[in-house]
Structure formats: structure tokens, C-alpha cells
Amino acid sequence: MSGLAFTRADFPPGFLFGVATSAYQIEGHAQGGAGRTHWDDFAATPGNVVRAEDGARACDHLNRWAEDLDLIRDAGLDIYRFSASWARVLPEGRGAVNQEGLDFYDRLVDGMLARGLKPALTLYHWELPSALNDLGGWRNRDIAGWFADFTETLCRRIGDRLWSTAPINEPWCVGWLSHFLGGHAPGLRDIRATARAMHHVGLAHGRAIEVMRGLGMGNLGTVCNFEYALPRSQSDEDRAAARRYDGIYNRWFLGAMFKGAYPEDVLDGLGPHMPEGWQADMGTICQKLDWLGLNYYTCKRIAHAPGPWPSLSEHIGDLPQTQMGWEICPEGLHHFLHFVQGHTGDLPLYVTENGMANPDSPDAPDQARIDYLNQHLAAGKRAIAEGVPLKGYIVWSLLDNYEWAFGYEKRFGLVHVDFESLQRRPKASYYALRDALAQS
């Protein structure tokens, strides 16, 4: 078995390493006074989630957070990227505050600082209070104001101690995956809902940044996911389909947040369904940011398909796959580091998520994950050598956890979790990362 092929000294001075999680995936949402979320509703609907599993108990991080932070510190990591649950802070999404929830995040941030970790907060990582979903959720323009108020409530309490903050994790998932493909809560398949959600997510991002700037907070960024779209064949039709996919997935939010404009080729399809007057919001969406985070996992083969826009179908190619059935394609990370730099210039970039699901058992070394990390870190190092301002790399995820529509079956953790006993057991990849970071 071999370990990681790098040490800290292989990266520029000050380069940071971290791990990421999110609230609903680890905390145990049935505890501590949190309100119901649209993920609870989605999971309770037959056919949406493997075995109809939900985040009610998850990894019980709510009670085991100190042990989890110890694991991060003991690996020699710098950053802990975590998220807060809106419904834990505001059970109805607005109005009454759950003090127990605010106290939890307050303790958690202090716990990170006590261990020398940099707290990197994401305000929204996908669990929307059900009461707001009842009002139309991301389809309702008012969500930008509700989100701004939630941002203010939470950041007034913990904003003074955060190292970095991003409003919304993976806007594409909130907009497209949840409203067009129906794969995430609220499980819609409706182009009008999609266009509205794809716009309101950006608007909520912009309003949250304004609120945080108003509170005097710094190091504010955005976390977008990117998927490398390759044409299934070299036919003109397949190449055009891959370009459309790339626009929806990779260029929509980047264009809005950094250029104040949506890509024309995506507006060709979504334009007729956009909310009236959307153009006036572009200035709010395009805020000055301090960094951009890339979440990157895989590539996809795209073919033309008959039918309404976007007239495409998705396919898997011949590269080795992870437990998710995702091809392992580190070349895509290299591509996006350069592509994003084309939009963001000198802005610091971070890989805010990268990692793989593997059917790990606690007793078998997870060499496949070590190899995956080696390949993607090599892609990052190559981009740095070519001038990309990549400043850090964050592994998804610290723990095996609730993988959304796939339930608890897909294991992304550096640390194995037994979902019966909730025992944590570091895997070989955890020790490999710890050993690599300990060498200088």
C-alpha cells in the first residue's frame, strides 16, 4: 500500500488543507429543537431516497462534535468547512429563534478555534425549512430576503470568529438538480420553477454578501460545483449539447456572480421562464468576493437528444468509477482551475470539495481514495505551477455521512462511521493525509 505522494513542502507556503461536512448530513436533525426541512419531506416520500433514509440521526455530530473536531486537529488539518442548518437556527425559517441551535454553532466555532482550526462556514447546504418551502421555497423571490435575515441572525452571533463564509453550497444543485432533474428536495421537474430557482439562488447569495459586509465580516466567497462536460462523440450535435450542459452547469452562476451576466446560450432555454425584471437584479448578484471555491468530482459524456431544450442526454465513459458511478477524471479539475481563473483573475481559489465514495469497511485500506486524492492533488499542483492562484484543498468528507438521495450507502469519509454504534474509525486515507501533512 502506498500513501500520499506529497508533503506540505510540495505546495506554496501558506497553502491550506482541510475537510468539509454539512449540517443535515452529519448533525442529527431530529435533535436540538431544529425545525422540519424539505429534505425530511423529500425523504419521507417513497422513491426519492434509498431506503427512505433521512438525516434524523445521521452521525449524531450534534452530540459528538468535540470528538469530530479532535479528529480534524489530530490529522494536522488547517480548515474545517462546515455548514449551519437554517431550520436549526430558525425552525420556521423566519421569526422565532431556537437559542439551542445558535448556542450549538457558537460552541462549535469556539471548539474549532480552541483546536487551532479555521472555521469556514457555509450558510446554506441544502436543507430548507419546510415552512418556507410551503411558500414556494426557491421559486419565491422573497427567499432572498428570508435568507438575508437568517444570515444576519446567525452572523451577528458567530460572524466575528469565522475565517471564511460562503452563502450557498453548489447553486447548481439548489437550482437545477432540485427543480429540473428532481433529484434533490423539493424534487420538482419543471422548467419555470427551475428558471426562478436558478435566479433566486444568485439573488440570495448577493443579499447575504451585502448583509455580511454590513456586519463588517471579511473573507467572503462562493462555492460552486463544476462538472467536466465532454461530447460523447465529435459530431457537431454532440459538441453543441456538451456546450449547453457546460453552460447550465459551469457558466451560469460564474457568469452571474463575476460578470453580472448569464450566458446567452443558457438564456436561449431559460429566458422565457425567468421572473419578470430579473435583469435589474444582476448588480446585486455580482458582488465583490474575496475567493471562489470549486467543488469538483467528475466528468460526464454528453450527447444530443431529441426533445425540448436542453435536448441532451448524459452518459458515463470508460474511465474507472467511484462507488457513485462517477468517472475519475482529475484532468477536469485541472481544466476548471484554469477556466475559473479566466473569470476571476487573481482572486484566491480553493478546492472546497473533492473526494470519492468507496464501499469501505473499517478493516480494508481505502487505497482507492488515497489514489484519488493523489491524482487530484497532482492536478492542483500542476495548475499552481502554471500560475493559478490555488490557495487550499479541502477533502469531502471528514466522515461517512448522509449522501442525500443515496442515503447512508455511499461512503465519502476519511473516517468510517458505523451507523448503528456511531463509532468513528479513521481509514487508511485519514492516516495517509495526516502523515503527509506532518512532513515538511
* Residue 353 touching ligand IFM (CB under 6 A): yes
210 in catalytic set: no
Q: One of 27, 53, 327, 353 is an active-site residue; which one?
A: 353
Return the C-alpha cell found at 342. Answer: 479566466
Return the C-alpha cell found at 309. Answer: 431544450
Return the C-alpha cell found at 258. Answer: 463575476
Instruction: Please identify, using beta-carbon distances, which residue of 125 and 139 lies nearer to ligand IFM.
Output: 125
* Residue 295 touching ligand IFM (CB under 6 A): yes
* Residue 403 touching ligand IFM (CB under 6 A): yes
Return the C-alpha cell found at 205. Answer: 447569495
Q: Which amino acid is at 417?
A: V
Instruction: Please identify, using beta-carbon distances, which residue of 15 and 412 lies nearer to ligand IFM.
Output: 412
Q: Which residues pair with 350 in a beta bridge?
A: 293, 392
Instruction: Please identify, using beta-carbon distances, which residue of 22 and 98 lies nearer to ligand IFM.
Output: 22
* Residue 228 touching ligand IFM (CB under 6 A): no
Instruction: Please identify, using beta-carbon distances, which residue of 60 and 435 lies nearer to ligand IFM.
Output: 60
* Minimum distance, C-beta of residue 249 to ligand IFM, in the bound complex (Å): 13
- Distance between CA atoms of residues 110 and 103, nearest Å: 11
Instruction: Please identify, using beta-carbon distances, which residue of 206 and 355 lies nearer to ligand IFM.
Output: 355
Q: One of 27, 170, 327, 403 is an active-site residue; which one?
A: 170
* Residue 172 touching ligand IFM (CB under 6 A): no
Q: Which residues in the 19-48 window bind ligand IFM by CB under 6 A?
A: 22, 25
Residue 238 burial (CB count, 10 A): 21
* Minimum distance, C-beta of residue 22 to ligand IFM, in the bound complex (Å): 5
Instruction: Please identify, using beta-carbon distances, which residue of 145 and 183 lies nearer to ligand IFM.
Output: 183
∠ CA 77-224-309, nearest 5°, is 155
Q: Which residues in the 3-22 window bind ligand IFM by CB under 6 A?
A: 22
- Distance between CA atoms of residues 186 and 135, nearest Å: 12
Total of residues contacting ligand IFM (CB under 6 A) = 8
Report CA dihedral (314, 278, 156, 87) to the nearest 10 degrees.
-50
* Minimum distance, C-beta of residue 180 to ligand IFM, in the bound complex (Å): 18
170 in catalytic set: yes
Return the C-alpha cell found at 188. Answer: 420538482
* Residue 222 touching ligand IFM (CB under 6 A): no
Quickly tell me which residue has 417513497 as its cell. 46
Three-state DSSP state, 354: coil
* Minimum distance, C-beta of residue 105 to ligand IFM, in the bound complex (Å): 18
* Minimum distance, C-beta of residue 221 to ligand IFM, in the bound complex (Å): 16
Cβ-contact 194, 264 below 8 angstroms: no
* Minimum distance, C-beta of residue 233 to ligand IFM, in the bound complex (Å): 28
Instruction: Please identify, using beta-carbon distances, which residue of 211 and 405 lies nearer to ligand IFM.
Output: 405
Q: Which residues in the 379-398 window bind ligand IFM by CB under 6 A?
A: 396
* Minimum distance, C-beta of residue 316 to ligand IFM, in the bound complex (Å): 16
The catalytic residues are 170, 353
Q: Which residues bind ligand IFM (CB under 6 A)?
A: 22, 25, 170, 295, 353, 396, 403, 412
